[in-house]
Amino acid sequence: MAEGNIEMKGDYFGSTSRRAFLQQFVTLSASSTVLAVAPWVNLLRAEELNYGSSSSTVRIGVVGVGSRGQALLLRLLKIPYIRVVAVCDNYDINYDRALKITENGATGYRDYRRMIDAGNLDGIVIATPLAEHAHITVDALNAGLHVFCEKAMARTLDSIQKMRVAHEQTGKILQIGLQRLFDPSYLHAIHQIHLGEIGEVTQVRAYWHRNSDWRRPVPPGSDLETKINWRLYRETSAGLVTELATHHIQVANWIFGDIPTRVMGSGRIAYWQDGREVYDHIALIYDYPQGRQLLYDSMTNNAKYGLEAQILGDKGTIEVEAMKGFSEAPSPPTPGILQLINNIREKSFSVLPIGGASWVPELASTDLGENMSQGNYDSTLMSLEAFAMSIRRNEIIPGLFREGYHTSVAALLGEQAMDTGTTVRWSQEYTIPTNSVNEYGASHS
């Protein structure tokens, strides 16, 4: 059954905005350069995402329904061919809220093992604190379930490796939640870069500046500080590098079509002297082959500059979060002025023609396109649909796991660099090679 024949559930997003979003993928799938770096685009073209009959409903359990988990749950509930069968959280407030969101349509669990053992699932979505990602993922994969695991994959390199091994050995889907991989804005930018529009790209500069203590409220008198504010403590979090930097490390890997060779950096607690253990200021330099670099910084007491990834080429610049492109070449003069300049050069004394009313000129910057988040439909929704679609097709999307894996490794190597004050080299054991001609590879010496 085609999409248009299915009644969309709820009003979180309209079918119109979803169609408009997917139409971008139809356009993007015509680009061989986009397909080379994002082969999933071909799978996500509108005609591929037909909902089919109810027998191909995908049954999902969500583990970890805190802030991010809720956002994922709300989106999952709006995808007609996904049925959220179970929700799991060991924190009462989250547990109660999750059941309420599903209008008690899902079964509630406080222990993910019981959720898995209950069966009746095709896959799970994991949005727990970082340190819990690995064992839940491995257990689920070994139980025959497919897994969507939020970034940044796991707390330690060892855990990341365990997840990789389980994924490879079970052959089950493991998709890491990095939604820019599904963002048409980014795909358009990559397309233009590969067309040579900004020339040779040697540097990506990314930053994420916020002004907030990053704390979540803790019930007074409770001992839940480290549980609720897990992001602030080293046992459970690497802080800004895993929670924020991973997004743009992934982008840089994608832009360069490569993985870093080494990383150096500095992390400090400069402002929030509140007992936290993670840095509130980080600055990282990732070196890539052929001399290219990612410069990244993040801090949490000034939000003036916000969030951006600047892609710098010898012919132009792309600010991809703002969807702006800039040319290094000066803008050409207006026609009358151009004629004047040519006349002067040719030693011709001619009248300069003046046109009609003032006109709005072509600006130095050009928009790369419309904001691709159409209405409420967004790249996170797309990433979840991709997960569900690959479950229905029983196909692992080529290249997708490698993106999430390499990014997660790079983030933790960055943490090491900051902690030790040394340059940390990428070890070959962390490289997933290219498997087919459709997958772009990561090769470096």
Partner 1 sequence: MGTRMDIVLPGLSEDFGTELSSVIARQIEEVEQSLSVYRTDSGVSKLNRLFRGSGSIVIDDAFLFDALEFSSDAYRMTKGYFDIAYGGSGNFGQVCLDRKNQRIEVERPGIRLDFGALGKGLAIDKARACLECAGIDNGLISFGESSILALGCHPLGESWPLGISHPEKSAEFVHVFQITDASLTVSSTLRNGSDGSCTMHSHIKNPFTGQLVDEAKTVAVVAKSAAIGEVLSTSLVVALDGEQRDIVENANISEAVSIVFEGSGMEKQRSWRKVILK
Residues 357-386 that bind partner 1 (CB under 8 A): 357-362
Q: Does 273 bind partner 1 (CB under 8 A)?
A: no
Q: Report yes or no: 280 and 158 within 8 Å, Cβ to Cβ.
A: no
In the complex, minimum distance from the CB of residue 337 to partner 1, in angstroms, rounded to a whole number: 4
Closest by CA position to 243, among listed 282, 271, 274: 282
Q: Which of 196, 219, 336, 433 binds partner 1 (CB under 8 A)?
A: 336
Which of 365/376 has CB closer to partner 1? 365
Listed ranges 101-109, 213-221, 273-281, 341-349: which one lies at the site for partner 1 (CB under 8 A): 341-349
Q: Report yes or no: 68 and 127 within 8 Å, Cβ to Cβ.
A: yes
Alpha-carbon gap, residue 318 to 367, rounded angstroms? 10
Alpha-carbon gap, residue 169 to 431, rounded angstroms? 17
Which of 334/443 has CB closer to partner 1? 334
Alpha-carbon gap, residue 408 to 401, rounded angstroms? 11
Q: Report yes or no: 109 and 87 within 8 Å, Cβ to Cβ.
A: yes
C-alpha to C-alpha distances, 331 to 338, 353, 377, nearest whole angstrom: 11, 20, 36
Which of 220/356 has CB closer to partner 1? 356
In the complex, minimum distance from the CB of residue 362 to partner 1, in angstroms, rounded to a whole number: 7
Which of 30/364 has CB closer to partner 1? 364
Q: Does 10 bind partner 1 (CB under 8 A)?
A: no
Listed ranges 160-168, 179-187, 348-356, 367-375: which one lies at the site for partner 1 (CB under 8 A): 348-356
Helix 246-256 and helix 400-420, axial crossing angle in degrees, nearest 10: 120
Q: Does 354 bind partner 1 (CB under 8 A)?
A: yes
Which of 220/353 has CB closer to partner 1? 353
389 in helix, strand or coil?
A: helix
> Tokens for 363?
């600006």
Q: Which of 352, 428, 436, 437 binds partner 1 (CB under 8 A)?
A: 352
Listed ranges 166-174, 227-235, 283-291, 340-348: which one lies at the site for partner 1 (CB under 8 A): 340-348
Q: Report yes or no: 136 and 158 within 8 Å, Cβ to Cβ.
A: no
Q: Which of 118, 211, 337, 366 binds partner 1 (CB under 8 A)?
A: 337
Backbone dihedral angles phi then psi of residue 218, each to the nearest 5 degrees? -110, 130
Q: Does 221 bind partner 1 (CB under 8 A)?
A: no
Which of 169/350 has CB closer to partner 1? 350
Task: Return the sign of the alpha-carbon dihedral for residues 398, 400, 402, 405.
Answer: negative
Which of 331/420 has CB closer to partner 1? 331
Q: Which of 349, 428, 429, 445 binds partner 1 (CB under 8 A)?
A: 349
Which residues are within 8 A (CB) of 186 and not within 5 positions of it... i.e. 6 or more apart? 180, 251, 254, 320
Q: Does 329 bind partner 1 (CB under 8 A)?
A: no
Q: Report yes or no: 323 and 316 within 8 Å, Cβ to Cβ.
A: no
Q: Which of 220, 356, 437, 445 binds partner 1 (CB under 8 A)?
A: 356
Task: Return the sign of the alpha-carbon dihedral for residues 42, 44, 45, 51.
Answer: positive
- Interface mask (CB under 8 A) for partner 1, residues 275-314, using x and -? ----------------------------------------
In the complex, minimum distance from the CB of residue 306 to partner 1, in angstroms, rounded to a whole number: 16
Size of the site for partner 1 (CB under 8 A): 24
DSSP 8-state assignment for residue 301 = B
In the complex, minimum distance from the CB of residue 331 to partner 1, in angstroms, rounded to a whole number: 8
Closest by CA position to 132, among listed 114, 98, 156: 156
Listed ranges 4-12, 51-59, 192-200, 336-344: which one lies at the site for partner 1 (CB under 8 A): 336-344
Interface residues with partner 1 (CB under 8 A) are 331, 333-334, 336-337, 340-341, 344, 347-362
